[in-house]
Structures are given as structure tokens and as C-alpha cells.
Structure 1
Amino acid sequence: MKNTFSEYYSPSDSEYSNFLEAGTIALDANVLLAPYKVDGDTGRQIFEILTQLKDRLWAPYQAGYEFFKNRPGVIAGEDKVYQGLESPLAVARKKVEDHLKSIAGHPVVTPSDAKSIMDGIDRIISKVHTLQKGKDSRLEDALRDDPILKKWEDLLESRIGECPTPDALRELKETVSKRYREGAPPGLQDEDKPENSYGDGILWLQLLDKARATQSPTLLITNDVKDDWYRRHGGKTIGARVELVREMQEVAGVPYYQQPLSFFVQRAGKVLHKPVSEKTVRQVVGLSVPALSGSQFEESVRSELLAQFPSHDVIEYPQQLTPVDLAVRVGSVVVGLVVSLNGTYLRRSTIQLLTEAVNGRKFDAILLVTPKPLTERDRDALTDLSEASTKPFDAITWGPARSTSPRLTQAVYALADRSHASPWRS
């Protein structure tokens, strides 16, 4: 039975070992970017496993291209981890100050004690401000002196696919377009993207060419767990699309398997006797975000906000009244959230409505929340919104699989901090 329906089987331990010992281990761009999104210890464990497999590693040209294109944005985003701390610290400072004033004259807390407490809080706020300012201003330095990039340069030296010529690239795009019309994965869910809609399809074609040339088993590590790459059952990822396994066998005559990075570090770590920590697994699992419906994503955002803010400070809006889906009250500031699976919502929704909502003082700031990286057009639209309003607009890439991360909360606090406090108006 396995010989007839091999595409439905996951590799046995011996077959998996063969992928690691004699196969091509291909890395997608989201895996190349993963070390920037985890802590140093997790990154070290990932690189330890990959270093043992150095001779088997390879990255399609498309993966390398997307890595370098998206790397500045990823570093810039992760470099702002301090930004969301200033506003909550300022709120806490005000509460402490008010409390100390209310007990002024109490024999237990002397004026000297009160001053010492406030000085300590001010030192913390000053330290965070210094760290934030320094981090956010050193993007160019971080891009130039990047230890993660140096590790990739060592691991992937002479292990990157060739850059296609303009004619070859045009042929690749034509082939991918034909595949989309025929409903052939992967990349079907990216077909309507305004930018890089051919990326997954091109990567797959380059992977087929590599397998055909090397005649070696091919293992793709990718955190893109959309339905056009993976089979899922009951919400769980259970393997590659059977069409992909079949095509690899038909075109290149070799076995094919694919895994998210979290599955790879666990299984490869076991085979290589390099077990990874539970913390590493948790962090890396958070990098794989399955496809969601718009309503599911909005509910994930709402749940995260309710976990971090009082329920009476999280407000929902009927979409026919405003492009804003949710709002959060932070003190006297109201941050409106536009929640979208795709940043292009920012362009489709009426910029005029958003600017009127802010300039009319209904909202003091607007935050776009999307699980997908913003395209250049999205960022241009964000700039247009900012220029049309006196209040701040910003965007964050956030996924429910990262719901333990404070980045969404930090982004709300950061926008509240940037805006001028204004009274709530319904």
C-alpha cells in the first residue's frame, strides 16, 4: 500500500535520516529570517543543528532574494522592543505619584522616602528611553554588523541557487501563472497579492530544478503553513500537499518532505543527538502562522487586547460605521485598530474615512494589524495617511501564534505615547 500511496506517508526514522545524510535541505526565506525573531539561546540551538548539516544545506535564489528584501524590516521591527515600555511606565509613575500625594504626612512614608521612590522610577524610565533611542537609531549599524548574517554567510557559502536571467525570470512567472490557472500549488493563496505574488511558485520551480539536477531526496524547511503548502486535519499540520510530493517524484524522481522549523529542530535534533529545549520549541512554533479567516484573525486580536487591557477599554465598531474594527482606551487616548489579513485593506478602505475619524477626534491614533509583512505600497499608503492627519498612524505584523508576545500591546502603548492626549468623543 505504501508504494502506491507514498505521498500520504511521513518518512520513517530511517527515511528521515536519509534526508539529513544524503539529501538537500532547502531553507525558505522565513527560516532564514527566523533567528532575528527569537532570543539568543534559541538562535544558538537552531544554528548548532544547521551547522551539523552544513554540507546538505541549500537555499533557492528566491529565498535568498526575499531574505535580503525583508531583512531590514525585520531587524527594524525587532529593534523597537523598548518602544512600548515608556507609556505604561509613565502611567505607573503617575499612579505611584498620586498615591504618595494621598498619603503625604503619613509617618511611615517620609518625604525623603517618597522622593527616593519617584527618583527610582524616573531612573528606570530614563534608562528605557535611552535604550529605545539608541536601538531605534542604529538600524544602519545593525545591518552592517550583523552576526546572524555572518552565520548564514558561513553556512550557505556556494549553497545558493543561481540568479535567473531576466528572460528566465519572465519564463518562471509565465509558468507560475499557468500553474495558478490550473490550480496547482504552491502559491495559490498569494495569487492576488499586489507584490511578490509569484514568490512561492518560483521557489517551488527552483526546488524542482535543484532536485532534478542532484537526484537527491529533498527536504524543504518553511514556516509558510498556508493550505497551498501543507495538508491539515483538525487544525493540525500533518504533511506536505500530496500534489507537491507527487510532482517532485514525477519531475525529479526523488522523495520529498517538508517541515516547519519547529518540527525540524525537534526531529533533526533527536537524530543528531542535539535535543533542543522546550523554550526553543515554544519560540520557534510561534514563527509558523497558519492561514486564518478575517473573522478568526480579528477575534485573535480582540482576545489578545482583552487579556492585556480592562474589558471596558476595548471597544468594537460595526464596520459600516468606520473602517476601524476595534479601539483601545489608554488613559485619555483612544487608539483605533484596523484589523486585516492583508495590508492592502489599508488601500481599499477609504483613506478619507480614516483621516476624518482621527481629525474628528474620534480616535487619537490608528494602528493597522496584519499577520503579513507590509508591502511597499502599504507603507506608502501609511505615509499618505500620516501626512493627511495630525495624529500618528502605524502598522504591526502580528500573528495569534505569537500571542504570548507583548508586541501588540507594546505597539498600542507606543502609539498612545506618540499621540497627544485628547478627550474621548463617541
Structure 2
Amino acid sequence: MKSKFPGYIDNYLENNILNSKKVLVSFDTNILLNLYRYEKSISADIISQIRSLKRNKFFDIWLPHQVALEFNLQRKATFKKQERAIHAIEDEFKSFKKTIEGLSKIGGKNSEVFPLKKELGVHFDTIGNIIKDYLPKTRSQDSSDPVINNVYDIFNGVVGDSYSQEDMANIEREGEFRFSNNIPPGYDDEGKEIIYSYSGVKINAKYGDYILWKQLIDKASQEQLTVVLVTGDVKSDWQSKEYSRVRPDLITEFKLKTGQDFYALTLPDFQRFFDSKLKRKLSDKTTNEMIELTAKDNSGWLNEILSAFEHFDNPLTLKEIYKFIASHSDRDLPPSWEVIIRRTVYNHCSDVSAYLGKKDLFEKISSGYYRLR
């Protein structure tokens, strides 16, 4: 019976993955894009860790073509978002400085604000210089982008092949059937409405995770190796809350189609479980920062969605919710933030199949519009 249901066996990671003779390590798009969201020392630490795997005989590293494509399509928007955040801090500081200086003029030196302005003033130049040091001057040029140069170097020669248009058409048909029946992975992305292309082949963004899944299966079949996907996502179409790990149906499908084992781990968990095999370790600072960022990226979204409905007081489309949050949220939006928003709405709407059965907050009324119940 075990051979028919391998993914449902307890301690699958310990008994199967960790006992492999060799492991093919692959990376999800968010791992690479998040390198632009960390401070430089942390990004450098993660890059060094990934690079060290290439020199480790226990591991092979490989990047699915879909991940490489998504990274190249999204990287400029990701680090430009960081640039805008720093410029926003600079603008806020200038506005604060101007306000203090203006208020201190009311009543002159006898003003109660004047001594405050005098005390703060000695720090203004220091604060201004600190902000300037963080302003990216030419980062939009690849020659000054340490992330892209390192990513290109590390994954040179280890990126998978793309699919033909015929292959992609078959994947879309399969994906449509799987999504309509909540068969993972990828159905959390069903609401994506972006079309892009690679070498003349049309690609529908909502099938991105399923394309990645197919490429992982193809690679495992070719190489006959255990595959571990390192990811920063905790989406329900990849992770099981009941098992507190990758979904058992995904492990089972992978095993039955390839004869090989599959698992998905965050980078901190990858280090924790493969500790004895690693020649280089992430610093505690890096590990804690990654855990903290993942927690922030996956919490508090429901309140922001509710704020959008309260602001407009009328039915909204997902695009309108995205637009409101993009312009009003104080958080550093992760690469997959629209997916998280969409999933959160679905999880709290009994009119869609992804409803979790708890808080039924939203009603789907027509043509993609939602309203508060």
C-alpha cells in the first residue's frame, strides 16, 4: 500500500529525502527576487550559500526555465520598487524637516518649537547623508546590479529548456482541468490575467506554477534524482496545513510519474534539515531575517482587503483591490503579493471552490466583482 500512497507516509522527509544519495536542488522565483528585498549583506550571504551548493558533491543545482523566465521578467520591477521606497523615505524626511523649520519661525526664538528645531537640526545633515548613502544611483543598470550578475553566473549552464507552443497548449488544457477541480499545484494563481511570451511562444501567467511543476517532473525523470524545491511561498496549492509540509498528493504524483522523491522547503528549513551535508551555513542574522520576511509576507492581508471595501463602499474587482493596496499599503510588497490577495479573498468567499469554510466575508456577485457580505 505504501507504494501507492508514498506522499501520505509520516516522516517522509527524514526517511526518504534525507537518505537520498544525491539531491537536485531547484529554486522558486521568489527566492531569487527576494534577493533585492534584503539588505546587501544578507543577499550576499544567501548568494554565497547557493553558490556553495555547486561545489558540494551531494547536491546538483538546477533552475527550471519557467523560474529563470519569471525572474528576468520581474527583477527590474522588484528592485525599482525598492528604489521608490527609499526615495519615499527621502521625501518624507524633507517634508518633516520643512515642517519643523516652518513651525519654528512662528514666534521666532521665543517659539516653543524653536529649541526643538535647534536640537533636531544638528542631526538633520547626518540623517540626510545616511539616506543618500542608501539611494540607488545607477542600480537600474545591469553592470552595477550585484544580484543579476551573481544569479547569471551561478546558474550558467544549469537552466532548463523551454516548451514549444504545442507543449504549452497541452499544458494549458491540463491546467484548466486541474484548476477547475482544485488539483495542485497552481490553482491559487487562477485569477492571474497576464500573457507574456518567450521566443515566440505564448505563455499564460496563471499556469506558471503548473509549468514549473511539469519541468521539475521532466528533470527528475531524466536525471533520476530526488528533487528539493527551495521556495519562500507557503501557498495552499503547495503546502498542506494538515501535514505541516508539502502536500501529500504532490509528493505522490511526483513519485508515481518519475519514480523519484520530491519535497519543498524554505531556505532556512533546507539548512536545518541538510545541516550535516552543507559545507557553508547561513548566518543567524540571515536566517532570522528570512523567517521574519516570510511571516510578514503571509500575514495581515485580510485587514488591508477589508480597508479597500470600506474605502469605496461598493463592489470591487480583484484588480481594483490590487490597485488600492498598491497605493495605500505601508508594507514592502512581496513578488507574489497579488497571489496572496487573491487567495485571501477566495479563502473567505463561499462562492468559490477555494473557500476554507470559516469566515465567509465576501460575496462573488458577477463578472469578477466581489462585495462584503
Q: TM-score under structure 2 normalisation?
A: 0.70
1:247 lines up with 2:253 in the alignment: yes
Tell me if the contact between 1:225 and 1:289 (Cα under 8 Å) persists in the aligned partners: no
Give 1:70-85 correspondences, 5 Å limit.
Answer: 70-85=74-89
Alignment RMSD = 4.1
Tell me if the contact between 1:57 and 1:159 (Cα under 8 Å) persists in the aligned partners: yes
Match of 1:212 among 214, 221, 224: 221
Tell me if the contact between 2:101 and 2:117 (Cα under 8 Å) persists in the aligned partners: no
2:158 counterpart residue number: 159
1:104 counterpart residue number: 109
1:39 lines up with 2:15 in the alignment: no
Structure 2 portions without partners, runs of 5+: 195-204, 345-373
Separation in structure 1 between the aligned mates of residue 322 and residue 14 of structure 2, nearest angstrom: 47
Tell me if the contact between 1:97 and 1:118 (Cα under 8 Å) persists in the aligned partners: no
Q: Offset of 1:181 from its aligned partner?
A: 3.1
Distance 1:290 1:270, change over 3 A: farther
Distance 1:343 1:118, change over 3 A: same
SS at match of 2:151: helix
Separation in structure 1 between the aligned mates of residue 4 and residue 210 of structure 2, nearest angstrom: 27
Give 1:92-131 correspondences, 5 Å limit.
Answer: 94-95=99-100, 98=103, 104=109, 120-124=122-126, 127=129, 130=132
SS at match of 2:241: strand
SS at match of 1:56: strand
Separation in structure 2 between the aligned mates of residue 33 and residue 266 of structure 1, nearest angstrom: 22
Distance 1:82 1:128, change over 3 A: farther
Give 1:108-257 correspondences, 5 Å limit.
Answer: 120-124=122-126, 127=129, 130=132, 135=136, 138-141=138-141, 143-195=142-194, 196-233=205-242, 238-257=244-263
Q: What amino acid is the match of 1:211?
A: A
Separation in structure 2 between the aligned mates of residue 151 and residue 121 of structure 1, nearest angstrom: 37
Can you list the C-alpha shifts for 1:126-183, whole angstroms capped at 9, x where unaligned?
Answer: 5467557x62x63432x34322222222221211110222222222222222322343
Q: Aligned residue pairs: how many? A: 321
Deviates more, 1:245-254 or 1:264-273: 264-273
Tell me if the contact between 1:89 and 1:125 (Cα under 8 Å) persists in the aligned partners: no
Distance 1:18 1:59, change over 3 A: farther
Tell me if the contact between 2:49 and 2:282 (Cα under 8 Å) persists in the aligned partners: no
Deviates more, 1:202-211 or 1:273-282: 273-282
Give 1:293-312 correspondences, 5 Å limit.
Answer: 297-299=301-303
Query: Larger RCO: Structure 1 or Structure 2 (Cα < 8 Å, ≥ 6 residues apart)?
Result: 2
Tell me if the contact between 1:185 and 1:228 (Cα under 8 Å) persists in the aligned partners: yes
Tell me if the contact between 1:49 and 1:265 (Cα under 8 Å) persists in the aligned partners: no
Tell me if the contact between 2:17 and 2:226 (Cα under 8 Å) persists in the aligned partners: no
1:367 counterpart residue number: 328
Give 1:366-385 correspondences, 5 Å limit.
Answer: 367=328, 373=335
Match of 1:288 among 288, 291, 294: 294
Structure 1 portions without partners, runs of 5+: 303-314, 324-337, 350-364, 379-396, 401-426
Distance 1:346 1:148, change over 3 A: closer
Q: Offset of 1:100 from its aligned partner?
A: 8.3
Q: Offset of 1:369 from its aligned partner?
A: 7.4
Tell me if the contact between 2:239 and 2:246 (Cα under 8 Å) persists in the aligned partners: yes
Tell me if the contact between 1:266 and 1:275 (Cα under 8 Å) persists in the aligned partners: no
Distance 1:6 1:250, change over 3 A: closer
Tell me if the contact between 1:176 and 1:198 (Cα under 8 Å) persists in the aligned partners: yes
Q: Offset of 1:199 from its aligned partner?
A: 0.4
1:318 lines up with 2:316 in the alignment: no
Separation in structure 2 between the aligned mates of residue 129 and residue 208 of structure 1, nearest angstrom: 47
Separation in structure 2 between the aligned mates of residue 199 and residue 12 of structure 1, nearest angstrom: 26
Q: Offset of 1:60 from its aligned partner?
A: 0.8
Separation in structure 2 between the aligned mates of residue 130 and residue 146 of structure 1, nearest angstrom: 18
Tell me if the contact between 1:218 and 1:255 (Cα under 8 Å) persists in the aligned partners: yes
Separation in structure 2 between the aligned mates of residue 278 and residue 96 of structure 1, nearest angstrom: 42
Identity, in percent, stands at 21
Tell me if the contact between 2:16 and 2:261 (Cα under 8 Å) persists in the aligned partners: no
Tell me if the contact between 1:217 and 1:256 (Cα under 8 Å) persists in the aligned partners: yes
Separation in structure 1 between the aligned mates of residue 25 and residue 186 of structure 2, nearest angstrom: 20
Q: TM-score under structure 1 normalisation?
A: 0.62
